[in-house]
């Protein structure tokens, strides 16, 4: 039921972000980066900074940075 509701909402609002699931090789690095990116976007939003990933350089490994970028962008989409 919850999955069907998710798809109904996504059909109504296709611009809403939807995160990649944290599965597969190096999922821990990706998920850790994703959470960090989302937290940073929320912090930027609360402090009135522009929601722009380009103001944040990622110096971790590729999987972490991919997750960080996606998490930041998804959270920025949710926050508006």
Q: What is the pLDDT of residues 10-28, one digit of tens each?
A: 455 555 555 555 666 668 8
With tokens 């109504």, the residue in question is 12
Q: Does the residue 15 lie in any domain? A: no
Domain boundaries, position 79: 25-80
Q: Does the residue 5 lie in any domain? A: no
Q: Does the residue 18 lie in any domain? A: no
Q: Does the residue 10 lie in any domain? A: no
Residue 6 has pLDDT above 50, yes or no: no
Q: Does the residue 4 lie in any domain? A: no
When divided into structural domains, the chain yields a total of 1
* pTM of the complete model: 0.67
> How far is residue 80's CA from residue 51's CA, in Å, rounded to a whole number?
9
Q: Does the residue 36 lie in any domain? A: yes
Q: Does the residue 16 lie in any domain? A: no
Say what percent of the chain tops pLDDT 70: 68
- Give the list of residues 6+ apart from residue 32 with CB closer than 8 angstroms, or none: 64, 67
């Amino acid at each position: 039921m919850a999955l069907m509701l998710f798809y109904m909402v996504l059909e109504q609002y296709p611009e809403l972000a939807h995160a990649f699931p944290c599965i597969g090789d190096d999922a821990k690095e990706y998920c850790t980066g994703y959470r960090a990116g989302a937290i940073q976007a929320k912090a930027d939003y609360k402090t009135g900074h522009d929601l722009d990933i380009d103001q944040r350089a990622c110096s971790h490994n590729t999987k972490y940075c991919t997750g960080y970028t996606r998490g930041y962008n998804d959270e920025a989409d949710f926050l508006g």
